[in-house]
Amino acid sequence: MKRTQSIVGVVAAVLLVALTGCGTDSAAPTSSSANAPAGGTLTVYAAASLKQTFTDIGEQFKTDNPGWQVEFTFAGSSDLVTQLTQGAKADVFASADTKNMDKAAKAGLLSGDPVNFASNTLTIVVAPGNPKQVTSFADLNKPGLNVVVCAPQVPCGSATEKVEQATKVTLNPVSEESSVTDVLNKVTTGQADAGLVYVTDAMGAGAKVAKVDFPEAAAAVNTYPIGVLKTAADAAVAKKFVDLVTGEAGQKILSQAGFAKP
């Protein structure tokens, strides 16, 4: 009987370690105490397209606020909102569109109003050197051209739909991907001849793609809002991060990556 009990204990302990171990990953630790003057970890949930710029801004934040660490979770904006409504703890949320920020506001996750800090437009990406000679949005309907776009359910796809309406050109894509990185990937690997992605994605891909800008992209401007969350352990420090993003230093990093002003 004693052996039975000890084994029960071991099983319970293993399960407990497994469960808590997994838990710390999603619910990242925040600052130890609001009274402590400096030190802690700021948890930022940000849209996947902000990975490069926010990582740089995070470095700047650490320099400005000694003792503070910044921990990022980058994912699709709708995934992040789902995680936050399901109880994930974070201090700051930056979305790739106003729709998902509205969702967060509606769920009562925000403390105060969100601020728009950047915007992004669509561009055409093709293989380096533009071998298929795509020069306009209408060219995407050239026969024999493999075009890949985002599905209408995701932000880049709804932007694509808006451009189609503005140009009265209906595309016939070979694939509707569920994320903008999947679209970019299909072009960089040569699977597709052309794809519609954000300017920042095209610039991030460097020499692996060529960018073909088109004026009708102005019909679908994606605005990026950022806000402090109610679960923030130290709202003042969270606000500092938001200020850094909207301030001069943050805006410089963002514009270098191809983001436009909101």
Contact positions toward another protein, by CB under 8 A? Answer: 3-4, 7-8, 11, 15, 76, 78, 82, 146, 148, 151, 153-154, 173-178, 182, 185-186, 189-192
Please report how close the Cβ of residue 238 comes to another protein at its closest, in angstroms: 27
Name which of 78 and 222 has its Cβ closer to another protein: 78
Please report how close the Cβ of residue 104 comes to another protein at its closest, in angstroms: 15
- Whether residue 96 contacts residue 224, with contact meaning beta carbons closer than 8 Å, is answered with yes
Name which of 1 and 236 has its Cβ closer to another protein: 1
CA dist 240 and 246 (Å) reads: 10
Name which of 56 and 161 has its Cβ closer to another protein: 161
Please report how close the Cβ of residue 230 comes to another protein at its closest, in angstroms: 22
Please report how close the Cβ of residue 153 comes to another protein at its closest, in angstroms: 4
Please report how close the Cβ of residue 155 comes to another protein at its closest, in angstroms: 9
Please report how close the Cβ of residue 154 comes to another protein at its closest, in angstroms: 5
Name which of 3 and 168 has its Cβ closer to another protein: 3
Name which of 23 and 66 has its Cβ closer to another protein: 23
Bridge pairing between strands 147-150 and 122-126: unpaired
CA dist 100 and 123 (Å) reads: 22
- Whether residue 256 contacts residue 199, with contact meaning beta carbons closer than 8 Å, is answered with no
Please report how close the Cβ of residue 173 comes to another protein at its closest, in angstroms: 7
Name which of 70 and 209 has its Cβ closer to another protein: 209
Name which of 130 and 146 has its Cβ closer to another protein: 146
Distances in Å between the alpha carbon of 95 and those of 77, 86, 193, 238? 5, 17, 30, 16
